[in-house]
Structure 1
Amino acid sequence: MRNHLDRQLRAVRNLGILAHVDAGKTTVTERILYATGTTHKRGEVHDGTTVTDFDPQERDRGITIFAAAVSCDWDGHRVNLIDTPGHVDFADEVERALRVLDGAVAVFDAVAGVEPQSESVWRQADRHGVPRIAFVNKLDRSGADLDAAVKSIRTRLHPVPLAVQLPIGTEDRFTGVVDLLRMRALTWSDGNDTAVEGEVPQELGEEALRRRRLLEEAVAERHPAALEEFCDRGTLSAQTLSAALRDLTRTSDVLVVLCGSAYRNRGIEPLLDAVVAYLPSPLDVPPVSGLRDAVAAGHGTDHGGHAADGRTRDGDGDGGERPADPEAPFAALAFKVAATATGRLTYLRVYSGTIEKGDLVWESGARRTERIGRILRVQADRHARLDRAVAGDIVAVVGLKSARAGSTLCAPEAPVVLEPPGVPDPVVSVAVEPRTTADADRLASALARLAEEDPSLVVRTDAETGQTVLSGMGELHLEVAVEKIRRSLGLEVNVGRPRVTYRETVARGVSGLVFRHVKQDGGAGQFAHVILDVEPLGAGGAHGGDGRGGADGDVETGFEFRSAVVGGRVPQEYVRAVEAGCRDALAEGPLGGHPVTGVRVTLVDGATHVKDSSETAFRTAGRLGFREALRGCAMVLLEPVVEVTVTVPEDVVGGVLGDLAGRRGRITDSTVRGGSAVVTATVPLAELFGYATRLRSRTQGRGAFTARPTGYAPAPSAAVVPAR
């Protein structure tokens, strides 16, 4: 029985398709579904007939907006595949997908090579430790060059790319590939969807042998068993080479590179073979680790390592690792929530155990038990009912009322909390209001549902104007959200002009700020005495905390708290309360009420009262003391900046450069590629509103641009000034 379960798990592949917008992700996905017999007609993006881009907005715009899950079978393996968006505004969809995947296929354009969003999704996959293989797509395009694409992968993404195929023919004469492991040719003809295997073309014989030799040497350098065989025999067998590439891919020591043309259905079967051969199964990745949920387990809370909400690190009781074992206690992570006509769908990655219809599960976010109504195998917008889901499955369930993206579902008798996907801070906001006051409640309900489905959307009420403000990752992100309200509910709304989300940071800190919180109004009082140092996060060497973005932006972002208290003058539970109070104060800075980032706070000393001190008192002291300290600091207003890559004809590049300079852009690179100029610049996000229309006007519709966030930089009008 145990061997049978292991065989089942080893035949599962959970992977995502990652790429820059327009690199061909969705077309690759469609051809995979067609090649595996899941669909019987090839869907086309330009015709609006794709399986995974099923939302009306996706078909209208011709881009992927929402991550879509599909399943198919290939060579006795179950492949659970998620087609992810390529536009930077929907990077959070990619983040949540990568959190639950075991592997990925990175798709690159054979003409453009590595593009800006390719780098962003690559770094996301690096953060999650997801092994990848690469597929260089569009080899039938004019200017396609596999070697140039591989070089750009090496120089811009820094893996060790190993091409295991050699193209047969170039551009519109591309007809197939040479498999360098088996030294066989695979060719496709128009109208024939199946590869024809044959001898390597004579004119490519020497080049294929040379590349095979380079591949063997590169693998032998990095794999001990391959090196031993290479030294003994002077060559590597196809079996040894394949096994070594499997090991090196799963440790991310090399990147296997394949090539083809998804649109013409060339190269898809070898890609599927590579997915099965090289990417890991659920058994090949480490067991997922989590926090032990003491509240659910009925153990209560204490100060011995438990968090304030009753969660503690693994190590005792029912906490710890969850192996990919159908017989282990159930544990799953919700990574997507979608409202459909048939009910509220919660997408799950099952990490361990088995779940059946009607089972009770513990939901960590709401801290309650819920019942599983139905279990569905998802095929984009179509679903098939399942009797059960086991470890390694990606499924959707119906019946959960409170689960959100990032919630853990687990067996009530073995509670655990898995790490949720990170949620980025929004950078663009718009005010939204209903056309009529009668629709106010409907709009509030619609916005709440949007935020539930997409955690990167934030809804708040402006304290000064009373307006409802919707914040997200970019103009397109907010446009899609508002259009979804209009289409799904028939609700007309007024939308204000986009505004960027500013931040405040410390340019010069203060030391030794003393704050005493004393309150006595009958009964038990409150007493807390703290002494704080506040400084910029970049000061004083390496930083920890929850900083994000410092490597890419011009300033450090994030927050770090330290304690330098000695002699137990402030107990540890009060130190944690001071930190919580400081984090509360980050919400509003002294310059304009913007969130504060890029700051380090050190609790230097403090004092307590034997009766009146409490965690509440010290949390209040931390909040009010930090606010007072910020008013004494020199503060700087920060604005979000993005890296823009503009591709235009050479004859109009001068006007484009001038326009970017007028938008406070800083040119960082300019190259000529295939008759087009590619300009890279760093530009404040506020200056990019309406840029797409302006660029099309300047280039007669021949220009295009992409942008990705790089962090925050001081706003020009915000020279270092003392706070009020």
Structure 2
Amino acid sequence: VEGINPLTREEEKRYSSDEEYLAALAFKVMMDAGRKMTYLRIYSGKIESGEDIYNAIKGRKERIARLLKMHANKRERVQEARAGDIIAVVGLKDTTTGDTICDESHPVILEPIEFYEPVITQAIEAKTPADQEKLTVALSKLMEEDPTIRVKYVDETAQTVISGMGELHLEIFIDRLIREFNAHVNVGRPRVVYRETIEKAVEVEERFEREVGERKHFGHVRLYLEPKERGGGIEVAREIEEELIPEEFHTAIVEGIREATLSGVVAGYPVLDVKIRITGGSYKEGESSELGYKVAASSAFREGCLQAKPILLEPIMKVDIITPSEFTGEVIGDINSRRGEIKSINNRGPVSEIKAKVSLERMFGYSTDLRSITQGRATFSMQFSEYDKR
């Protein structure tokens, strides 16, 4: 297996051998009777119960309390685990999904696990003060288990907003709150998480000049914004000469732009698929400050988005439906009524597999509708594909 040495940033290899230095990946975290259990895949080296191991991502040591070999619903306590083993470890308090466990004297970071961004949100609130205490504990434990769940507390409404990968995902999450932690909650309607982008290129400049705390702050920045292809993300390019703005302020300009991308001008959703070029600006001796350039860059980005035909992007889902062949026509008609795009239809004897792309907003309640039109005989799965224009 290959990884990166966090000290030298060079690529290193670990061969599948007990004699090699330790390299293991934490691929799952699970709560078992209130205790945290971390599943490790050991690629090289070996670990023993009671020894200290090093988390290369967190940069800290942890002690193994127990090693367990899992056999379906049974478990076997062991003293050591070797290269090639999949083992459950009790006692790793700070290790999360995707962390690399290794030898402290020979650290390595393995390729991390990538998680999709949430596409749907739902507001929840505890029914009683006692439920609020249970809810706080439950949320922290369930978030450790499932990295695709995000939780945010909104002060204005005193509500907790949970975000996940789909309607069913959040339904199961809420069911676990009640069933496993006895935390009863009131639940709001699911809401789709949108993104924003721009449709045309613009050049814009902003100047910030103000006295704050008995000191003058100055910042002047010129930006060029242009749309990128879907899935291109945010790219910030420094194309400014040091004579115009000293390099010590360049980081503040980038930070100002990055912060501004978190809230768009259409509805306050994060901005995607835009390339921002820092092309110019000016500098005033004794007055220019990091704050000044940060505010100027943020204001320039927002002003540029307003001029560049901002639009909303909605999450598009890949939908895979398995249905008895006699209901194929009804299922396709239902997908078309949701303005979905049929990608393929494969006949497999008595059943058909239909692959389609549909807006998440139009998939609410689909499981009930699918059961209704197929007499409960069809099944479907859904996963995030991309953000696209509404």
Q: TM-score with structure 1 length normalisation? A: 0.49
Q: Is 2:86 the partner of 1:394?
A: yes
CA contact (8 A) 1:360 1:412 kept: no
- Please say if 1:596 is aligned against 2:288: no
Partner of 1:141: none
Q: Could you tell me which of 346, 359, 375 is aligned with 2:51?
A: 359
Distance (whole Å) between structure 2 residues aligned to residue 490 and residue 459 of structure 1: 19
* Equivalent position amino acid for 2:333 in 1: G
- The one of 713, 719, 724 equivalent to 2:388 is 713
Q: Give the match for residue 4 of structure 2.
A: 290
Structure-2 residue corresponding to 1:659: 334
- 2:356 corresponds, among 681, 685, 690, to 681
**Partners of 2:208 and 2:217 within 8 A in 1:** no
Q: Could you say which residue in structure 1 is the equivalent of 2:9? A: 313
Root-mean-square deviation over aligned CA pairs: 3.1
* 1:395-421 Cα shifts (integer Å, max 9, x gaps): 222222211112233333444444421
**1:339 paired residue number:** 31
Task: Return the structure number with greater helix share.
Answer: 1
Q: Give deviations 1:90-142, integer Å, cap 9, x for gaps.
A: xxxxxxxxxxxxxxxxxxxxxxxxxxxxxxxxxxxxxxxxxxxxxxxxxxxxx
The 5-angstrom pairing of residues 683-698 of structure 1 reads 683-698=358-373
Assess, with a 3 A threshold, how the Cα gap between structure 1 residues 652 and 574 changes in structure 2: closer, same or farther: same
Structure-1 residue corresponding to 2:67: 375
Shift in CA distance, 696/520, structure 1 to aligned 2, threshold 3 Å: closer
- Pick from 484, 507, 513: which aligns with 2:176? 484
Does residue 584 (structure 1) correspond to residue 259 (structure 2)? The answer is yes
Distance 2:363 2:31 in 1: 33
Secondary structure of the 2:6 match is: strand
Residue 112 (structure 2) aligned to one of 395, 416, 420: 420
Structure 1: how far apart are the matches of 2:164 and 2:131?
23
Instruction: After superposition, give the CA deviation of every residue in 1:478-525 in whole Å (9 maximum; x if it has no partner).
Output: 1221222222112222222222211111112321433447665357x7
* Correspondence 1:635 to 2:310: yes
Which residue in the other structure is 1:211 paired with?
none
User: Which residues of 2 match residues 441-456 of structure 1 at below 5 A?
Assistant: 441-456=133-148
SS of 2:142's partner is helix
- After superposition, the C-alpha distances for 1:656-690 in whole angstroms (9 at most, x for unaligned) are 34332322223344455435555443221111111
Larger radius of gyration between Structure 1 and Structure 2: 1
Kindly report which structure 2 residues correspond to 1:443-592, keeping only aligned pairs within 5 A, or say none.
Answer: 443-462=135-154, 465-516=157-208, 520-522=212-214, 528-538=219-229, 555-566=230-241, 569=244, 574-592=249-267
Structure 1 residues 459, 517: closer, same or farther in 2, change over 3 A?
farther
The Cα shift of 1:426 comes to: 0.7
| Cα separation, 2, equivalents of 1:606 and 1:364 | 41
1:621-650 per-residue CA deviation (whole Å, 9 max, x = no partner) reads 544442343233311111111233444455
Structure with the larger RCO, 1 or 2 (CA within 8 Å, 6+ apart):
2
After TM superposition, the structure 1 = structure 2 runs for residues 90-101 of structure 1, keeping only pairs within 5 Å, are none
5+ long unaligned stretches in structure 2: none
Unaligned runs of 5+ in 1: 1-286, 294-311, 539-554, 716-724
Rounded Cα–Cα distance in structure 1 between residues aligned with 2:102 and 2:70: 21
Aligned partner of residue 292 in structure 1, secondary structure? coil
- C-alpha displacement at 1:329, in angstroms? 4.1
What code does the residue aligned with 1:667 have? I
**Aligned pairs, number:** 390
Partner AA of 1:590 in structure 2: V
Rounded to whole Å, the distance in 2 between the matches of 1:612 and 1:381 is 67
Q: 1:155-183: CA deviations, max 9, x gaps?
A: xxxxxxxxxxxxxxxxxxxxxxxxxxxxx
Shift of 1:457: 0.6
Map 1:244-323 → 2, pairs under 5 A: 287-293=1-7, 313-314=9-10, 320-323=12-15
Return the offset for 1:365.
Answer: 4.5
Deviation at 1:570, TM superposition (A): 5.0
The structure with more strand, counted as a fraction of residues: 2
Instruction: Tell me, yes or no, if the aligned pair for 1:360 and 1:411 is still in contact at 8 Å.
Output: no
1:712 maps to amino acid: Y
Deviates more, 1:441-450 or 1:371-380: 371-380
Provide Cα deviations, 1:268-318, integer angstroms capped at 9, x if missing partner: xxxxxxxxxxxxxxxxxxx4222425xxxxxxxxxxxxxxxxxx6237xxx
Offset from partner CA, 1:35-60 (integer Å, 9 cap, x none): xxxxxxxxxxxxxxxxxxxxxxxxxx
Q: Please report how far the alpha carbon of residue 614 of structure 1 lies from its aligned counterpart in structure 2 after TM superposition.
A: 6.8
1:348 matched to which residue of 2? 40
